[in-house]
Structure 1
Amino acid sequence: MSTDSTPSSAAPTENPAPKRIPRLGWVIVFVVLVGLVAFAYVSLQKMRPVASALPRLEQAPAFSLTSQDGKTVTEAVLKGKVTVLNFIFTRCMGPCPRMSAQMGHLNQALGPKLEDVQLISVSVDPEHDTPAVLAEYGQRFGAEPGRWKLLTGPTDQIHNVMVKGFLLPLGTDKDGMPAHSTRFVIVDQQGVIRGYEDGESPEVVQKLLMDIGDLLREGKSGSR
């Protein structure tokens, strides 16, 4: 009679599995890495100046003119603020009322609390446009001297400021009235001419607001 004998087998050896980082640990690591990347990006953005698309053209010219409230205004007023400037005259039967209306819309869009921007309109008919005449004209469009200056002065100086300084044409029409550019001039906080916008364009206010925003951001970046 045969007897079946079951051979004894050795107990299997267990290989210990490598310890794994819990899922929560990976989440924490991921969050930390994202935070470090975000911090580095923000730091670089703060260090890097904001580049404006507006080129630096010419330094604004020197001048000494008189505002609608009888005060002397020089080129020093251009420093420290973004300036939008144009040339008009009160007897104008053409584009000037539309340009002044657009400047008025810009003034309203900027709001009274934005103190880093100013508006300037220079008369190209100074023999007629006395400070009193300009004050009455400005009231029609909401021009307050602290925010929107209307300037007059000697004829030869205004011609030089407009033609040689701001590089805009000025002449006379067949009736002997001033014939002048309708472009708005954008000047930065350092008194540098940065661009022009068509004063008769329906989108001029929106374009000027974009230019102003670019220069304000550029100025804040440069002051860090």
Structure 2
Amino acid sequence: MTRAIRIAVLLLVAALGGLWGAAFLARAPGEGLGASFARLVGGAAPSAGGVALPGGVSLGGPFTLVDGGGRTVTEADLRGKLSLVLFGFTFCPDVCPTELQAIAQTMDLLGAQNTQVRPVFITVDPERDTPAKMKEYVEQFHPAITGLTGTPQQVAAAARAWRVYYSKVTPPGSTEYLMDHSAFTYLMGRDGSLRALFRPGATPEEMAAAVRANLG
């Protein structure tokens, strides 16, 4: 990693840490951390189980990754449909499979409407998550989910676009590393703008309701 990239990563982590800290301190009684975060960056009150955000919020943007077949995928490929975007990694022991299962159940709840939605799982562990590994992993949850990976630089650029935090950690006594990462699910509009932000633990019913609200 070059010195410039290290500095960029440190600045991103510091900015995110400061914003999440401010969100924690600014929470209203009974308000979740995700809702407080969204409110600080210009979001509206929670809606349909997610944190509804205006289109002007700068989350999402240009990226270049590859899918399970090695085909290049960019932000342009997400246009024209709604997208449910989640960042994680295939060796994730808990939150990633839980959230992917919720997305899979959301797709099932949508029935025939799910053809208008593209679920996407983007790795934060490109060293281990090859295109073939991503394809094999996401197919365990739902055939519609697309797994995306790339070079470390490409993954870092995608994470910056969605303001995703991730960091390699090695648990005490372990020889294998894990990835510490944020785990929000992003609902993106047909035009690539952010429509809703779902906290970890949002139910499939909540996500399906938010998706239907944006299909019109």
TM-score (norm 2): 0.68
The answer on whether the counterparts of 1:89 and 1:129 sit within 8 Å (CA) in structure 2 is: yes
Q: Give the structure 2 partner of residue 200 of structure 1.
A: 201
Partner in structure 1 of residue 103 of structure 2: 103
Q: In terms of mean alpha carbon deviation, does 167-176 or 58-67 score higher?
A: 167-176
Mapped contact 2:63–2:157 kept (Cα < 8 A)? no
1:170-212: CA deviations, max 9, x gaps? 22334342111111011101101222101323x2x12211221
- SS of residue matched to 1:182: coil
For 1:2-151, list aligned pairs within 5 A. Answer: 54-56=53-55, 57-58=57-58, 60-112=60-112, 114-142=114-142, 144=143, 147-151=144-148
Q: 2:163 aligns with which of 161, 167, 171?
A: 167
Counterpart code for 1:130: T
Report % sequence identity.
Answer: 27
1: CA distance, partners of 2:141 / 2:196? 24
Instruction: Tell me whether 1:180 sits opposite 2:181 in the alignment.
Output: yes
Residue type of the partner of 2:190?
Answer: Q
Aligned partners of 2:67, 2:86: CA distance in 1, in Å?
Answer: 14
Given that residues 182 and 200 in structure 1 are in contact (C-alpha distance below 8 angstroms), is that contact kept between their aligned partners in structure 2? no
Stretches of 4+ aligned residues off by more than 4 angstroms: none
Deviation at 1:112, TM superposition (A): 4.9
Separation of aligned partners in 1, 2:74 and 2:124: 17
Distance 2:87 2:182 in 1: 7
Q: How far is 1:82 from its partner?
A: 0.7
Uncovered stretches (5+) of structure 1, i.e. residues with no partner: 1-51, 218-224
RMSD: 2.0
Q: SS at the partner of 1:114?
A: helix
After the TM superposition, which of the residue ranges 65-74 and 119-128 deviates more from structure 2?
65-74
Give the TM-score normalised by the residue count of structure 1. Answer: 0.65
